[in-house]
Chains A and B, each alone.
Chain A
Amino acid sequence: DTVLTQSPALAVSPGERVTISCRASESVSTGMHWYQQKPGQQPKLLIYGASNLESGVPARFSGSGSGTDFTLTIDPVEADDTATYFCQQSWNDPRTFGGGTKLELK
């Protein structure tokens, strides 16, 4: 299975730029997607196909990468962005998720 590795947690101040990384154990081309999950809620799609912004998602969110290294960027970070961010790949079977990065605001 394709293992997706994310840093467990990050802490940033509002107004700053934050990058959340996701590294795949093998190439997933651009079949990488990002989700935001706030406490007690279901996940929400932010980015699909590595760099495409889902409709209705603020332009503060962006994604980049291909192959094995991917980044979700939030610029600027707002207090409401406190959440866990998951990456998910769909290039290789079975589809897999990263362990999530918990973003905290200072």
Chain B
Amino acid sequence: EVQLVESGGGLVQPGASLKLSCVASGFTFSDYWMSWVRQTPGKTMEWIGDIKYDGSYTNYAPSLKNRFTISRDNAKSTLYLQMSNVRSEDTATYYCTRGATYYGYNYDYWGQGVMVTVSS
């Protein structure tokens, strides 16, 4: 069974940094693209970015690429999202997703999500 388990969320002050993790199981992690997607409290969904299965390529939403960095450790089957200089508008539930690249790029498995609240 495919499982994606996020951690690292919580309350963080504006301007601070935060690193989210996602441990994958139930599939060969190193065979898949992975992505982060977030959902605001108003339920708006936003793609954050992707990372290629071997970590050699990343792609980000233009509005986030200067502050967010995606990385992975295939030996640990773990995906990361480094967030820096966070703002109140980064308050959201962050989902780790597995990328499926057939018929376009979609997200065939999602973690349960981790909440990040940016507030002083």
Binding site for B on A (CB under 8 A): 30-33, 35, 41-45, 48-50, 52, 54, 84, 86, 88-91, 93-97, 99-100
Contact = CB atoms under 8 A, between A and B. Distances in A.
Interface residues of B, number: 22
Nearest to B108: A45
A96 B46 CA distance: 7
A29 to B, nearest CB: 8
B95 A49 contact: no
Nearest to A47: B106
B16 interface: no
Interface of B: 43-47, 59, 61-62, 95, 100, 102-113
A32 B103 CA distance: 9
B106 A88 contact: yes
A105 B99 CA distance: 32
Contacts of A35: 107
A49 B102 contact: yes
Nearest to A98: B45
B47 A96 contact: yes
B76 to A, nearest CB: 22
10 contacts: A31-B103, A31-B104, A33-B106, A42-B113, A43-B95, A44-B110, A45-B109, A88-B45, A88-B107, A95-B105
Contacts of B104: 30-33, 48-49, 89-91
A94 B44 contact: no
Closest 3 CB pairs of A and B: A49-B103, A31-B104, A97-B45
Nearest to A45: B108
A69 B107 CA distance: 21
Contacts of A97: 44-47
Given A94-B47, A94-B61, A94-B62, A42 B111 contact: yes
A88 B99 CA distance: 13
Contacts of B62: 94
A95 B35 CA distance: 11
